[in-house]
Amino acid sequence: MSNMFCFQCQQTAGNKCCVNTGVCGKQPETAKLQDELVYELIRLAETAEKHGQHTKEADRLLMDGLFTTLTNVNFDNEAIKEFTERVKNEKEKIGNDNIEVVSLWEGANDIVSLRSTLLFGLKGMAAYAHHAMNLGFENNAVTAWFYKGLCEINREHSVEEWIELIMEFGRMNFQCMELLDHANTASFGTPTPVKVQVDIKKGPFIVVSGHDLKDLSQLLEQTKGKGINIYTHSEMLPAHGYPELHKYEHLAGNFGTAWQSQQKEFEDIPAPILFTTNCLMPQRPSYRDRVYTTSVVGYEGLIHITGDKDGKKDFTPLIQKSLELGGYEHDRSMSGINGGHILTTGFAHGAVLSHAEKIIESIKKGDIKHIFLVGGCDGAHPGRNYYTDFVKQTPMDSLVLTLACGKYRFNDLDLGEINGIPRILDMGQCNDAYSAIKVALALADAFGCAVNELPLTLVLSWYEQKAVCILLTLLSLGLKNMYLGPTLPAFMSENVVKYLVDAYNLQPITAPEQDMDAILGRG
C-alpha cells in the first residue's frame, strides 16, 4: 500500500491518485487520519441504525465529520484525532457492537468507483447540511440519509444497485440544497442584485473566506462602529446580495479572486483572514500569522475560533489583529482576473424569476436565443482558462448564468445587456445550483416543454466533493447534454464514465470553439 491514497479532487496527481503527498498539500498521515475518521463514522452510523438511535450528537458528528474530510478543509492532525475520539465515544454510548468496515479503496474497479462516488457525494452534502444546521434548519429525511448512505457504503451491491443508490442520493441532495436555500433566505432575506467593489479602502480590514453566512453575520455585528472594513473572498462573494448582510455599511467589497490564488493574493496583506470553511491552502510564512480558522476548518499552528453551545463566537482576536495591522495607508486599486473593478452578484432564483416574464418574452422574440450555465469550482489546472474563453465566445443573444468560485474566471467581464438584463447573472455559491434548477424548471413550465428541450446548456467545472454532489443531483433529475471539465473525475472508472456518457450524454469539454459549435449546431 502507498503512503496515502487520495483521488477525491480534480487536481489529484496525474489525474489518477495522490500516493505520496496530496497536490492540495495534505500529508500522508493526515490522509490516513481522515480515512480512519470515515471508518469510525461508518461504525457510528451502523450502530445507530442497528439500535434505532439517531441522537442529535450523532447527527452533528456525521455531518461535521464528513465535512472535515472534504478537500482543503482540515489539515490539523490533532484536531482530526480529537474529532475521531468524539465519534468513537458517541458510538459506544449507543452500543458497543463490533462493526466490521469495508476497505474503501479495495475491490473490483467499478465497485470502488461507485462506492467512492457515493462517499464523495455524501461529503459534499454534509457541507450543505452543516451550514443549514448552523442556522437552525434541518430536514429529517436529509439527516437520515447520512446514516443510510454510510451504511450502504459498507454493503456489497451490484453495479445496478450502486447506480440506483447514487441517483437516490442525488435527489436527496436536491432536498438538502433546498433546505440551505430556505435557511439562508429565512435568516438573511432574499438575495437582490448588487454591485460589489474589488478596490480596497485605506484603514483596518478583515478578509472573510468560505461559505458560512452565519459566521460572517456575527463578525459584521461585532465589528460595527469599530472602523474596520470587511471584505468577502472567493465563495463568500454572494453574501453581498443578502439584504440582512448588505445593510452593514462596512461590508465594503470583495478581496481577490478564487481560492487557488490565495497564496499569492494574501502575500503581505496588512490584515487578518478568516476561513469559515474550505478552501484553505497551506500558508506562506509571509501571512501565516494572520490566518484564523473556525468551525470544521483547521491547520496546525493557526488560531482557531470556537463557538459556544449556541454557535456564538467571539472574534475579538481577529478584531484586535486587524486594528494592530492597520490596513493600507491609502486606497488600493485591485481588479479581477480580466482587469475589471466591479462584480455583480445576487441573481439567485428569486431575482432571476422576478424577470421571468421579460426573459420569456425575450426568448419568444428571438432576442435571447440561448442560455448557458457556466459554473462550478475553480482550481489551478491550466485547462481552466477554457471557461474564460468559452464565456467570451458566447453570442451576444445569449445569457450566462453562473455560480460558485469558477465564475472568477470571467465575472469581472462586461458582456453588456439584453433588454435591460445583464448577460452575466451571478446566482451565488455552489449550493445555489438549486437556484439554477429552479429557474430551469420555471422556464420549462412556461414553455410547456421538458428541461432538456430548453435552449439551455450546462457547462460545469469541478474541483471537490460539493461539485460532485451537485453533478449527481443534476443527473438524478434527468438533465442531459452537460459539459464537464477540466478533466473527468479520476475516481470514476472507464465503465462508469461510459454509462454516464451513454445514459446522460455527459460530455467532457474539448476546446471552447469546438464545444460552442456543437452546442449551437454551427459548422
User: Average of pLDDT values for 360-375?
Assistant: 97
Whole-angstrom distance, CA of residue 130 vs CA of residue 176? 10
**pLDDT band at residue 2, thresholds of 50, 70 and 90?**
low
Provide mean pLDDT across the span 313-335.
Answer: 98
User: In sequence order, what are the residues at sequence separation of 6 or more whose Cβ sits closer than 8 angstroms to the Cβ of residue 306?
Assistant: 294, 313
Print the SS3 string covering 220-288. HHHHCCCCCEEEECHHHHHHHHCHHHHCCCCEEEECCCCHHHHHHHCCCCCCCEEECCCCCCCCCCCCH
Rounded to whole angstroms, the Cα distance separating 174 from 397 reads 30
Task: Tell me the pLDDT band of 250, cut-offs 50, 70 and 90.
Answer: very high
Segment holding 343, helix H or strand E? strand 342-345
* Rg of the chain, C-alpha, whole Å: 22
Would you state the pLDDT for residue 1? 47
Question: What is the tens place of the pLDDT at every residue in 94-127?
Answer: 999 999 999 999 999 999 999 999 999 999 999 9
Give the chain's mean pLDDT: 97
Q: Taking 70 as the threshold, does the pLDDT of residue 403 lie above it?
A: yes
User: What's the pLDDT score for residue 290?
Assistant: 98
The pLDDT, as a whole number, for residue 86 is: 98
Reported as a single tens digit per residue, the pLDDT across 5-29 is 999 999 999 999 999 999 999 999 9
Domains of the chain: 13-187 (1.20.1270.20), 194-325 (3.40.50.2030), 346-520 (3.40.50.2030)
Is the pLDDT at 386 greater than 90? The verdict is yes
pTM > 0.95: yes
